[in-house]
Structure 1
């Protein structure tokens, strides 16, 4: 079973839901370490408490998936998730949104693999890197 942390912003929760659906449709057996919408960790308190909560989620994963939309370049938390993944040597998979003219250079530069918005591509990358 793969253990995945799928980075996302709840402001773009539809993208997160589409990615999990793409993975589910491929029949991959995985445990989702991502932060559930009904229990957001941003209510943890201070930035250091939030960082510790993200660290605890990422530490035990097989790999980290990050949506490489341009908003990712401006998110301090995605940058922190990348730092934490790198600290633990976790493979990072960047997922480029369909028909996106601009994507996050920060995410793509940190990624071990960049894939398109397709279930098979995402799952193949997970199996290859995790």
Structure 2
């Protein structure tokens, strides 16, 4: 029986198609995973302000082993993606930056904080997770 890996996918709801693409990549791997992300169709409704939202995201990331971050240039300007990086770092979580195919510009903020930078391929994602988590 495969060990389940808890994963948080950092993303911008403005780019939810990329989030769905990461899910498809994960589904093509041999990794049994549980998704701790905050998808567009299930936002954190009980957070009344930024502090509560930060705490709610922290509460999700603390149960994960790895944080996947899309390395699109928008991530450089996203306050919440920066917060998710901060939370992951503070909790000692591994960060994998995923560069979308054909991206000419990517986020240096994400890449500078990543433990591994990969291209948009399920095999690269699977190998990076296994490498970083020692599987």
Q: TM-score when scaled to structure 2?
A: 0.93
Match runs of 1:11-90 below 5 Å:
11-41=14-44, 44-90=47-93
Q: Distance in 2 between matches of 1:27 and 1:38?
A: 26
CA contact (8 A) 2:98 2:117 kept: yes
Question: Quick check: 1:95 aligned with 2:98?
Answer: yes
Q: Distance in 2 between matches of 1:83 and 1:17?
A: 24
From the two aligned structures, give the one with the greater helix fraction.
Answer: 1
CA contact (8 A) 2:6 2:64 kept: yes
Q: Distance in 1 between matches of 2:123 and 2:37?
A: 20
List, as ranges, runs of 4+ consecutive aligned residues in structure 1 with deviation greater than 3 Å: none
Question: For each residue in 1:65-120, what CA deviation from the matched residue of structure 2 results, as whole angstroms up to 9, or x when unmatched?
Answer: 00000000000000000000000110100000111110000000000000000001
Give ranges in structure 2 of 5+ residues lacking alignment.
Answer: none
Q: Number of matched residues?
A: 130
